[in-house]
Every structure is written in structure tokens, then in C-alpha cells.
Structure 1
């Protein structure tokens, strides 16, 4: 077990690379646990790959409908539609063709981590990768402290192993973990993708997720809001991809 502080320091010292090096000739399938993770963790990747002529496939795993519990203004069915519209807007700002965005609509906070539903989800992801010709799977880091992110990491590992796909992981909430926490992380390789030329597009995409900023849905006291500390992390001119 290593401390989170040690692991994150290692992430920040990974070699800088461009999109061609990160892709290594393969088409990418990106797994996002919720609508907004694709922009937060991979917005620069998506924009860079699109400009390079290698638009990825983006699969959003859950419906995001648990972000504002109890809201009458935006009950779950409506919230799902709002969040999907925001995701479509966000990836369009990154240059992704609309047909490259797929919603699997698992329940928010209920993404399966084992059992028959887990196997079904893995089979669906594997089929998408096969039919779209993806050789690279990009998924959340297993150290992200959110159940859906951890389930997505397990799915990605299973699909990559079965299909012999290359796997890269990206941190989102892991950046905010207590540095004294312990995490089972082996010494790793990977890259810091230089997104200097695409940082503005990434910020524009993140901003498309209006419902997650706290001003759109006002009748849910426990409603989720993207914290400033997390948004500040993604102002960096690089994104981390762990191999």
C-alpha cells in the first residue's frame, strides 16, 4: 500500500506526451461513470484525438439522475434528459461527432461491481469496443473514491483482459483524496497528455454541465455541486493517463 500523496506525486511527474504517443495507433473507447466525467478527466484527450483525426467513442455509464435528490423542479426522469443534453453539448464543444457518444443509462450510484448485471455491462462495453474498432480502453482510476468510478474501473479491467485491449486510467475525484490515505497502487507508467492547445475547449465543455454548478436546480438542498477545488485541478494544461 502506498500513500495517496506519493501516488499523486508520481502522476504529476509522468512524462509529457502528445496524443499520438498516448493513442499509439489505437482508437480509444472512453468510459465515463457520469455525464461530466468525460469532460473533467478526458476533455483534452477527446479534443486532441478529434483534431488528430482519431475521434474516440465516449460511453457514459450512468444516467446521472441522483445528483439532485428530492427535486420537484427536476425529478429523475427529467434530470436524466437534462444531463444527457449537457453531455451532448459538452462533447460537441470538444469536436466529437454526435454518433460517437453512447449512453448506457445504468442507475446513478448503482453501477454494478459484480454479479450478473456487471457481466452484462462488461459484455455491452466489449461489444461496443469490437464493433467500433477500439483497441484502447480509457477508464477511471480505481483509486477514485466514488462507487461508480470504482465499478467502472473494475469493468474496464475485466473487458481489457478478456478482449486483450490496452487500458489507460484517468483520475477525477482521486485528486482530492487525503494524502495520508493508503491505496493499493503498484508502481506505474503512463503519460501526462499535453492539452495546452485544447485547455480552452476543455473548460468550455466542463461549463456545459450547467446542472452541476448549483444554479440551475434550486430546490434540492442536498444537490450536488462541482467543488471549486476539483474544478481548479482541471485547469492544468495536462491530463494524466496511467498505464
Structure 2
């Protein structure tokens, strides 16, 4: 949907600074979790669940909601030209990182579907079917939180589309969380459904726990070596947009 907008703004160029978002000053209603007894957080890659919705997942857990994470891929394609780490080694690293991050937040380790990283759209029907099986009977108050269908990253958008179809098939409630939209979009950007936005305020201890969990993803936030192909996927300016004292979802 918005992959061209994302492609036009390379991550290294910085994108929209966090200071611009903070100066915007637009407020959104708080997300009401009433009626949610089970929250399934769907992450295209290991780390999306923490960076996009880690604080909300922790708050839900603390309020007695049964929280689980589904990791669609193992994230092996993050550094395709790395001279340091092979794809199987990267997959192992990222699985280990997300397991540690889950322990920091006190949520179960992710359920891993191990679909090919970078090829979720080609496997969207399989993902839809597997998510439908996981969501099951919506009469139990199941909500599904997935990356936004318009996030720009092809894997994020395809995951959101599969989650939306699975929710339609099972009657589960869908909420969507943006990650890369904060990079390529700007305040009041017409491609973003701001009217559907809801905010989750994170108390200081929850924000600190999310930050600590995010620190586990060293393969993504720190260089693997001095080689240009080993540069961080999530440089500091990207992390600033994802470690705010609040999270935003679309309902």
C-alpha cells in the first residue's frame, strides 16, 4: 500500500525526526482494552512485537489478559550481504534475542511460524490459515494486534493483511500498530488513518521494561562489524521513534 513511500526514504537518511512528532501535539483517545481476555501480537520479524507494542503487551499482562506473540519469520534476511553472519546464524541470533526480550517483559516466548523473511506476501494464504487456527473461537474475547496494513515495509503490510483476513474469518478483533510509518510519514500525512488512532500511555516502569527488552536486539541496533553491510538496521534515530512513553495503534 505505502511501500513506495517507504522506499523513497532510506533509513539511513533519518526520516521524520522524533522531535517533529513531539512538536505536532495532536492527541488521540486512549485505547480501551475492555472485553479483551486474550491478546495475540503478530510480529513479521523478531523485535516488531517489542518495538511496536511491547508496552501494551506488558500492561495487558499486568491486567490479567493472556498475551502471546506470533513471530512470522525468524528475521534471517536482515543483513543479506553480511561478511560476518550467515542467514541461519542470523535466524538463531534473532530467535534468541526475542526469547530474552520476552523474558524481560514476563510474557511467553513467541510461537514461531518460520516463514521466509522478505517473502511473506508470497506466503500470505498460509499465514492467514495459521493465524486463523491460532485465533480460534472469538467468543473468548480474542484480540489480534498486527503491524499496520499500510506501514510501508512489504512484510509488515502483508502480515497486516493476513491478520485482517484471519480476524474476519474468526470474528476476532483486529488492532494494528505502525512501526515504519513514523519514519516515512509526517504529521497529518494523508496516507495515515489518524481518525482510527488510539494511544496507550506507558508508565515509567513499563517504558523502562520495554526499553530493556529492546536492548536485547543487539543484532539490529548495533553494528555486526565495521563492514558497511553490517550496519545497524535500527539506528538511534529510528529507535527514538519507537521508545516513546506511549504507543499508538489503529482500531
TM-score normalised according to structure 1 size: 0.84
Contact residue 69 and residue 220 of structure 1 kept, 8 A: no
Distance 1:171-1:12 versus aligned 2 partners, 3 A rule: farther
**What's 1:112 paired with?**
121
State the alpha-carbon separation in 2 of the partners of residues 153 and 26 from structure 1.
21
Aligned to 2:195: 188
Partner of 1:118, secondary structure, is helix
Q: Does 1:51 align with 2:29?
A: no
In the TM superposition, residue 123 of structure 1 has moved relative to its aligned partner by: 0.7
**Quick one: structure 1 residues 59 and 90, their matched pair in 2 at CA, closer, same or farther if it must change by over 3 Å?**
same
**8 Å CA contact retained: 1:72, 1:219:** no
- Asked if residue 222 in structure 1 is aligned to residue 236 in structure 2, the reply is no
Q: Which residue of 2 aligns with 1:173?
A: 180
Structure 1 unaligned segments of length 5 or more: list them.
Answer: none
- In structure 2, the partner of 1:140 is 147
CA contact (8 A) 1:171 1:240 kept: yes
SS at match of 1:91: helix
**Do the aligned partners of residues 60 and 49 (structure 1) sit closer, same or farther apart at CA in structure 2, a change above 3 Å counting?**
same
Question: Contact 2:135–2:172 (CA<8 Å) still a contact in 1?
Answer: no
| Counterpart in the other structure of 2:131 | 125
Alignment of 1:200 with 2:208, yes or no, is yes
Out of 87-96 and 128-137, give the one that drifted further: 128-137
* RMSD, aligned CA: 2.9
Partners in 2 of 1:184 and 1:161 — Cα distance?
A: 23
Q: Structure 2: which 5+ runs fail to align?
A: 7-15
CA positional deviation for 1:182: 6.2
SS of the equivalent of 2:182 reads helix
Return the offset for 1:97. 2.6
After TM superposition, the structure 1 = structure 2 runs for residues 7-156 of structure 1, keeping only pairs within 5 Å, are 12-17=26-31, 21-98=32-109, 101-112=110-121, 117-130=123-136, 135-156=142-163
Cα shift at 1:70 = 3.0
Equivalent in the alignment of 1:239: 247
CA offset at residue 188 of structure 1?
3.1
Alpha-carbon distance in 2 for matches of 1:153, 1:78? 27
